Amino acid sequence: MTLIQSINPWTGEVIKEFLPTGPKEIEEKLQLSQETFKSWKKTPISDRSKLLKAAGEILRNNKNHFARLISLEMGKVIRESRAEVEKCAWACDFYAEEGEIFLSEEHISLSDGKKAKLIHQPLGTILAVMPWNFPFWQVFRFAAPTLMAGNTGILKHASNVPQCALAIESVFQEAGFPAGVFQSFLIDSTQTLKLLEDNRIKAVSLTGSEKAGAAVASASGKNIKKSLLELGGSDPFIVLADADIEKAAETAVKARMVNFGQSCIAGKRFIIEESVYDRFLEIFKEKISQLKCGDPMNEDSDYACMARPDLAAELYVQVQKSAALGAKILKGGHKPEDGIAKFQPTILTDIPVNSPAFSEELFGPVASVFKVKSAQEAIQIANSTEFGLGASIWTTDLKRGELLASEIESGAVFLNAMVASQPALPFGGIKKSGFGRELGRQGILEFVNTKTVYLG
């Protein structure tokens, strides 16, 4: 039997090993989930709200403990891990406070004088297949609205963050949620796909790669179940000639380096109008060079390492292929040591159209910088990938910014700010970035049956 290992990517040390959830336990937990749903859906929404508030409190009260687990298992710096835990508490509070309003009935007056109403009812057990990059946030972004709506949840977390998976389950237990409302399964991909054949699972939400998304959506499609996919992105970060260049360049560093570049909504392609290109690049490179690499547990580290050595190796191949096709390496670009998750921040320029840096997602600290002659050329490059998650546009002319925003093919556009998620803003993509929306009112309505009741 293959054990599930918790490995510290900074040191390579195996911290803990876990037995996978066995078939008998899976069966018991599925049954418990289904049984619990029967009472949970009838639990007054005010009680569900109190429990969610309590979960937020537990997160805040144990912020350092959970943050350490995140940094230990996936290597992000401790300051960012603490911010992640706080953001999860924010999502719990948000849905505890707004959930009832979002789920309230809607009334429709018909042309014949009759009336109808829409009621939003939970579906049952929802499966969450989640990634390692924000191991707490990705799960709470799913769980807070989904449980508030009256569903029960089962988490299949990424195999490299089992301690986070179990810690999240414990948050809900300690908050007082009935035992079957939220459970973690330590299982592999094959077992996950099998779960989708089980009638007790009603729908699935996945955040991760296109490959994982396609596999899960196919399995759920085959079983006529709803899926929500939040996949990769290659977000453009457009800086026009009239922008505040200093602010844009400083924010660009954050947008690219947050989570050591391992974020679907990280700015990945920096598309800069030619008259401000040199100035932007100078500040961008300088600020990236000032960032301090160190142990993820150190308060003053700006970055540490990637989440796994294979991810670093894969990213290097993308850089190398892009360079072989003609991209220039302005900074970094060194080969990571075999089996080591460390990676040097890298800047690429002069990127050829057919290279990975142009068309693929670079899921790590590699910035691709493009020089363009006009705003229209910027939009054309921005839209020239298969992804469509987020985009950032920098201009002091907000009217023009809004017009350009409408031309971008993505689920969100941020003007004069980096793309960032927050509980009130619907989040999700188009094209190969996936479908469906998390967060906001749209997020809580993804896993409900919006039932039409005609009042004859």
Which parts of this chain interact with ligand NDP (CB under 6 A)?
Answer: 129-133, 156-159, 188-189, 192-193, 207-209, 212, 215-216, 230-232, 264, 311, 361, 363
The CA distance from 339 to 390, in Å, is: 32
**Closest separation in Å from C-beta 163 to ligand NDP:** 14
In the complex with ligand NDP, which residue's Cβ is closer, 37 or 137? 137
**Closest separation in Å from C-beta 98 to ligand NDP:** 24
In the complex with ligand NDP, which residue's Cβ is closer, 188 or 274? 188
**Closest separation in Å from C-beta 7 to ligand NDP:** 12
260 DSSP assignment? G
**Closest separation in Å from C-beta 201 to ligand NDP:** 13
- Which residues are bridge partners to 155 per DSSP? 128, 184
Assigned token pair, 107: 């009334």
9 three-class SS: coil
21 DSSP assignment? P
Among 269, 279, 289, 346, smallest CA distance to 315 is for 346
In the complex with ligand NDP, which residue's Cβ is closer, 216 or 448? 216
In the complex with ligand NDP, which residue's Cβ is closer, 123 or 231? 231
The CA distance from 202 to 151, in Å, is: 10
| 92, 164, 264, 305: the active-site residue | 264
**Closest separation in Å from C-beta 131 to ligand NDP:** 3
Q: Cβ distance 339 to 309 under 8 Å?
A: yes
The CA distance from 395 to 164, in Å, is: 40
Active site residue 230: yes
**Closest separation in Å from C-beta 92 to ligand NDP:** 20
Q: Cβ distance 93 to 53 under 8 Å?
A: yes
Active site residue 92: no
Q: Cβ distance 237 to 255 under 8 Å?
A: yes
In the complex with ligand NDP, which residue's Cβ is closer, 133 or 368? 133
261 DSSP assignment? G
In the complex with ligand NDP, which residue's Cβ is closer, 193 or 415? 193
The CA distance from 11 to 9, in Å, is: 6
Parallel/antiparallel/unpaired status of strands 387-388 and 226-230: unpaired
In the complex with ligand NDP, which residue's Cβ is closer, 262 or 392? 262
In the complex with ligand NDP, which residue's Cβ is closer, 283 or 357? 357
The continuous run of DSSP H or E covering 283 comes out as: helix 274-290
b/e for 245-272, b at 16 or more Cβ within 10 A?
beebbebbbebbbbbbbbbbbbbbbbbb
| 80, 169, 230, 438: the active-site residue | 230
Among 178, 161, 156, 141, smallest CA distance to 34 is for 178
In the complex with ligand NDP, which residue's Cβ is closer, 29 or 48? 29
Instruction: Tell me which residue has its CB nearest to ligand NDP.
Output: 208
**Closest separation in Å from C-beta 394 to ligand NDP:** 24
**Closest separation in Å from C-beta 375 to ligand NDP:** 28
Q: Match 């191949």 to its residue by tokens.
A: 317
Parallel/antiparallel/unpaired status of strands 235-239 and 152-156: unpaired
The total of other beta-carbon atoms located within 10 Å of residue 211's CB is: 11
**Closest separation in Å from C-beta 262 to ligand NDP:** 7
The CA distance from 251 to 254, in Å, is: 5
The CA distance from 166 to 53, in Å, is: 20
Distances (CA, A) of 381 to 56, 184, 279: 41, 41, 21
Residues assigned a catalytic role: 230, 264
